[in-house]
Amino acid sequence: MACDRQDPLALAMQQAVCGGGKRMRPVFVLLVHEVLGRTGRQPVDVACAVEMIHAASLVLDDLPCMDDAAIRRGRPTLHRVWGEATAILAAFALLARAGEVLRSGLVAAGVAPAHRDALTARLAQVVETLCRGQLLDLGLVEQSCDLDRLEAVHAQKTGALFAFAAELGAACAGVWGEEREALLAYARNLGLAFQVKDDLLDVTASQQQTGKAQGRDAALGRTTFVSVFGVEGAQALCDELIATARDAIAPLGGAVALLTEFADYVRTRAA
């Protein structure tokens, strides 16, 4: 993203999306597209739109009124560099831009108009779901938190965007019906497993590995899969979710082997 050196809004937007990270969601869009046998042009803009939404949501999550995070992806968070007002406005502008990148990306990927309309309509639902998940997460109280409740919150906060990534990858490959449903089930379970692993890494991995402060959840008194089920319980849950994700795509056969590897990466990642 080229931008004017004198334009703090553009610079902050650039930091938010170009500041590193694992790129799980855009890679997932491209993986789904690839395993479905499409060898043509990759839907890169569609994948970027998903990352832009994710990046904007992280800027908000890190704000003082939410997680009050100082470090993200090994750098000071956006509001620490640019101030809160610039960070919030950059997230807002990024979301608007993501909608446009998604729309034009779907055109470039040759998705039919009716499907494009349905997918851009889904964008609004997914963003609302992310926001609702974030709010619920901020309000979680450990004493009254069981597995169903935790999973319901993170299905919204994390699972929804993974599922949308799968939906977009499949749509760009022109795939609907049962294959798509299997991929969505995979994505929802993978998204939850990713979050459980995030909670585990907060306890077990160093700041150098994750690019985030270690032990942040405990310091903030956050209710997480680890605080509720312990390290071993959370690891078992992560393994179970990964197994369920892999089972969901088993009927699709050997063509989706890359997705099995992707699930194993989520289970074993160290950062």
Could you list the residues that contact its own copies (CB under 8 A)? 7-9, 56, 60, 63, 65-66, 83-86, 88-93, 95-97, 99-100, 103-104, 107, 113, 117, 120-121, 123-124, 127-128, 131-132, 134-135, 138
Taking the complex as a whole, how short is the minimal distance between the CB of residue 84 and its own copies, in angstroms?
4
Closer residue to its own copies (CB): 95 or 263: 95
Q: Which is nearer to its own copies, 63 or 175 (CB)?
A: 63
Q: Which is nearer to its own copies, 91 or 170 (CB)?
A: 91
61 vs 179 by CB, closer to its own copies: 61
Closest approach, Cβ 172 to its own copies, in A, equals 18
Q: Going by DSSP bridges, is the β-strand pair 71-72/75-76 parallel, antiparallel, or unpaired?
A: antiparallel
Closest to its own copies by CB, 134 vs 214, is 134
**127 or 226, CB closer to its own copies?**
127
Amino acid type, 113: P
Residue 213 vs residues 40, 161, 243, 255: alpha-carbon distances, Å? 41, 24, 30, 39
Minimal CA–CA distance to 51: which of 23, 31, 30, 75? 23
Element (H, E) at 76: strand 75-76
Nearer to its own copies, 13 or 190 (CB): 13
Give me the least distance between CB of 15 and its own copies, in Å please.
Answer: 15
State whether residue 40 is helix, strand or coil.
Answer: coil
CA distance 235 to 269: 12
Taking the complex as a whole, the smallest distance from the CB of residue 34 to its own copies amounts, in Å, to: 27
SS (H, E, C) 19-39: CCCCCHHHHHHHHHHHHCCCC
- The C-alpha atoms of residue 70 and residue 81 are separated, in whole angstroms, by 10
Q: Please give the backbone phi and psi of residue 66, each rounded to the nearest 5 degrees, phi first.
A: -115, -105
Shortest CB 147 distance to its own copies, Å: 21
Smallest gap from Cβ 121 to its own copies, in A, equals 5
- Residue pair 173/225 in contact (Cβ under 8 Å)? The answer is no
Minimum CB separation of residue 178 from its own copies in Å reads: 28
- Determine the Cα–Cα distance for residues 193 and 237; give it in Å rounded to an integer: 8
Q: What distance in Å separates the CA atoms of residue 25 and residue 166, rounded to the nearest whole number?
A: 9
